[in-house]
Amino acid sequence: MWPDEAAAQASAETLAAALLPSPNAVIELHGPLGAGKTTFTRLLLRALGVQGRIKSPSYAVMESYELPGGGTASHFDFYRFGDPREWEDAGFRDVFAAPGLKLCEWPEKAAGQLPPADLQLFIELQPDDSRRVRAVGSPALVEALQ
Ligand SMILES: Nc1ncnc2c1ncn2[C@@H]1O[C@H](COP(=O)(O)OP(=O)(O)OP(=O)(O)O)[C@@H](O)[C@H]1O
Ligand SMILES: [Mg+2]
């Protein structure tokens, strides 16, 4: 449960610790518009040491970051993703074939292309503005979020 962004930040920090030293995982962020998928992704990238602006990738679909400890993190927002050919054309096949961290908002819109996730987060917005989070996947990553 995330009562507020500070709680989400605490989860991002423990998850970052579980992913380091060489983040290499596919993480799906499920939840409706405004659930907090981008917010959590930003908190996780910050916890991994990314500095500077972290844009929402809505229009570009993908934004990539070099991690200070080495490696790459790629943040996807598949909300406007439609044509499976775009997967090839945009080079996403290569990104997913290479090691690194992949953070995917709206993964259901690219379900036919995405490889199996290491961690799925299901974020539910509650009436009091808190977030209920369910984690499914690799036990080491799920436990890091408890
Ligand atoms: N854990 C949280 N606690 C409180 N407020 C939050 C939390 N996460 C996000 N918010 C607030 O909710 C709003 C929407 O968050 P965000 O943009 O991360 O949603 P999203 O799931 O990425 O939406 P979209 O589907 O449009 O990409 C933001 O204004 C943010 O401040
Ligand atoms: Mg978003």
Bridge partners for 134 per DSSP: 122
The Cα 49–Cα 80 span in angstroms is 28
Containing structural domain, residue 26: 5-144
The Cα 139–Cα 119 span in angstroms is 9
Helix (H, G, I), strand (E, B), or coil: what is residue 2? Answer: strand
DSSP 65-126: EE-TTSSEEEEEE-TT---THHHHHTTHHHHHHSSSEEEEESGGGGTTTPPPPSEEEEEEE-
Select the more confidently predicted residue: 60 or 13. Answer: 13
The Cα 35–Cα 27 span in angstroms is 16
Helix (H, G, I), strand (E, B), or coil: what is residue 136? Answer: strand
- What is the mean predicted confidence (pLDDT) over 76-100? 92
For 99-112, what is each residue's pLDDT tens digit? 999 999 999 999 99
Nearest atom (ligand 1) to Cα of 123: 21
- What is the mean predicted confidence (pLDDT) over 49-75? 93
Task: Read off the pLDDT band of 98 (50, 70, 90).
Answer: very high
- What is the mean predicted confidence (pLDDT) over 34-51? 98
What the block records as the tokens of 4 is: 């507020």
What's the CA-to-centroid distance between 37 and ligand 1, angstroms? Answer: 6
What is the CATH classification number for the domain harbouring 67? 3.40.50.300
Total count of domains within the chain: 1
Instruction: Kindly report the protein residue whose alpha carbon is nearest to atom 1 of ligand 1.
Output: 5
What's the CA-to-centroid distance between 105 and ligand 2, angstroms? Answer: 6
pTM (2 decimals)? 0.96
CA distances from 128 to 1, 7, 14, 38, 125 (A): 12, 15, 25, 20, 8
Look at residue 84 and tell me whether its pLDDT is greater than 90: no
Ligand 1 pocket test, pick from 4, 27, 39 with the greatest ligand atom count within 8 Å of Cβ, gives 39
| pLDDT score at 20 | 97
| pLDDT score at 146 | 77
- What is the mean predicted confidence (pLDDT) over 38-56? 96
